[in-house]
Amino acid sequence: MAENNTEKTCEGCGAKCCRELNFDLEEPKTDEDFDSWKWILSHNNVYIYKDPKAGWCVCFETDCKFLDEKSKCMIYAKRHKLCEKYSHEECVKYTKLKYEPVLRTFEDIDNLRKSMQK
């Protein structure tokens, strides 16, 4: 149950989970790995972050093409299995996870590399 004994729902969230794609990344170890991460950040609406549970991830900020103008799923009854499995417990609306570090620039990657070499 959510705070105030109300059930957790998607109402009022704006479909945050439908506005990004997140994929696991291997921790960078070599020059080539760090260069690959810079290549990833060369694209618009992309960042890399460290999830306390999953480790390194890349996030592509892009809307699902099945969202309508009110941020509702137009294929909800036949939505993808991944969407069905997604739990309200994981939703950023209800969690207080803080991702650190969040990498958005080449400088961020260079700083991470320096910190990992210590």
Q: What is the pLDDT along the chain (118 residues), one digit of tens a residue?
A: 444 446 777 777 778 788 899 999 999 999 999 999 999 999 999 999 998 888 999 999 999 999 999 988 999 899 989 888 877 677 766 676 678 889 999 999 999 999 998 7
Burial (CB count within 10 angstroms: exposed 0-12, middle 13-18, buried 19+), residue 20: middle
Determine the structural domain holding residue 73 and report its residue range. 16-109
Is 6 inside a domain boundary? no
Is 104 inside a domain boundary? yes
Is 2 inside a domain boundary? no
Is 53 inside a domain boundary? yes
pLDDT at 87: 74
Is 115 inside a domain boundary? no
pLDDT at 1: 40
Number of domains into which the chain is organized: 1
**Tokens standing for 99?**
């991702």
- For the question of whether the overall pTM of this predicted structure is more than 0.85, the answer is no
